[in-house]
């Protein structure tokens, strides 16, 4: 009795990519009009991530607004803690974006798997995020969608900022450059944005960084975004809760409160964040500067989801759902939000 042998065939796009030196691997993430695949580049001699976007299925606003904006930023940025773009290819109705491969997934997955990040490690990772944002802001780029799902990790768990679909460039570095567009996720949005007040884009990033730091050291969200009205009220009343069951140092709490400051004129700037005692107390031997070279040192490691929202090609990531009992620490005063005019 003979055994039938199933013949393996390549799709047209796989043949096209193979001619260009790319061997396509497993699917890392997939959405309604895009998927991210692992691939090996013969030219680069290493693994890469390839985002494949179907232009026929992608919505018009993504094709005409979010995708061009992201590619514009990725083409010009060059920083060890920002995901690197290698090449953009087009074949028939598809776009192939070849990027640095982040082998350990995203920060949200990392925290869901491991729980609270020890503060020494959190300082290291958060400092890398700060350095990436300093670089972006010095180059007049605001990310406007910083969240754990958009912070990828290489094989050494170095931070790699990704997903620039909501990024905005600006010419005036002063707070006179305002935006009215609501961007990103409500859970990471500053109160002035949730209230529809015009905002200075870099301050959007800074507030989101405070939420990210809170998630790092608490493994939970600082605010419940299931009720936006209550969430805004908690923000305006400076209600930041910390779990009784988790030990968070007073220095970390102080930094988080200064970043999650409702008054935009008092919210910490990036230089103030980097100069805070919690940030300057890294242990000897730790280097939060340029990331290590990950290349293929751990080629068999777990592959991570690369992207987080439909606005970035439809690749979905989960949300942090952990709920904890918290002891609310409230600062009462008569200050209100200072709108930027």
Check whether 18 is labelled as a binding-site residue: no
d(CA 98, CA 38): 10
d(CA 237, CA 330): 7
d(CA 47, CA 50): 10
C-alpha dist (Å) from residue 295 to 67, 87, 156, 319: 27, 17, 10, 29
With vertex at residue 32, the alpha carbon angle to CA 27 and CA 187, rounded to the nearest 5 degrees, is 95
Phi-psi region of 218 (alpha: psi -120 to 50; beta: other; left: phi over 0): alpha
d(CA 258, CA 4): 67
With vertex at residue 103, the alpha carbon angle to CA 97 and CA 106, rounded to the nearest 5 degrees, is 85
Burial 20-54 (b: 16+ CB within 10 A, else e): eebebbeebbbbebbbbbbbbbeeeeebbbbbbbb
Phi-psi region of 285 (alpha: psi -120 to 50; beta: other; left: phi over 0): left
Q: What residues are annotated to the active site?
A: 145
Query: Which residues is 36 bridged to in the sheet?
Result: 29, 51
Binding-site residue numbers for ATP are 51
Binding-site residue numbers are 51
């Amino acid at each position: 009795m003979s055994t039938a042998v199933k013949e393996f065939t390549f799709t047209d796009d796989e043949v096209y990519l193979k001619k260009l030196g790319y061997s396509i691997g497993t699917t890392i993430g997939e959405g309604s009009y895009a998927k991210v695949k692992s691939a090996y580049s013969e030219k680069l001699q290493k693994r890469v991530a390839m985002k494949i976007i179907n232009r026929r299925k992608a919505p018009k606003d993504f094709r005409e607004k979010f995708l061009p904006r992201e590619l514009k930023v990725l083409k010009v940025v060059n920083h060890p803690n920002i995901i690197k773009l290698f090449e953009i290819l087009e074949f028939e109705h598809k776009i192939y974006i070849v990027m640095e491969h982040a082998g350990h997934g995203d920060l949200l997955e990392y925290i869901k798997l491991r729980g609270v990040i020890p503060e020494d490690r959190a300082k290291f990772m958060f400092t890398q995020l700060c350095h990436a944002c300093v670089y972006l802001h010095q180059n007049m780029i605001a990310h406007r969608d910083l969240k754990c799902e958009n912070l990828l990790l290489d094989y050494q768990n170095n931070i790699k900022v990704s997903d620039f679909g909501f990024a905005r460039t600006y010419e005036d570095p002063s707070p006179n450059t305002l935006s009215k567009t609501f961007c990103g996720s409500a859970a990471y949005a500053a109160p002035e944005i949730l209230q529809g007040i015009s905002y200075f884009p870099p301050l959007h990033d800074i507030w989101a960084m405070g939420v990210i730091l809170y998630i790092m050291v608490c493994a939970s969200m600082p605010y419940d975004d299931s009720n936006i009205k209550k969430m805004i009220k908690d923000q305006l009343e400076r209600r930041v809760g910390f779990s009784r069951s988790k030990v968070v140092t007073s220095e970390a709490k102080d930094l988080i409160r200064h970043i999650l400051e409702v008054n935009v004129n008092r919210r910490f700037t990036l230089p103030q964040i980097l100069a805070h005692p919690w940030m300057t107390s890294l242990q000897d031997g730790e280097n939060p500067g340029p990331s290590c070279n990950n290349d293929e040192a751990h080629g068999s490691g777990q592959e991570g989801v690369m992207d987080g929202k439909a606005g970035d090609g439809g690749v979905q990531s989960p949300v942090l759902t952990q709920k904890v009992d918290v002891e609310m620490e409230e600062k009462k005063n008569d200050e209100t939000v200072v709108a930027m005019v």
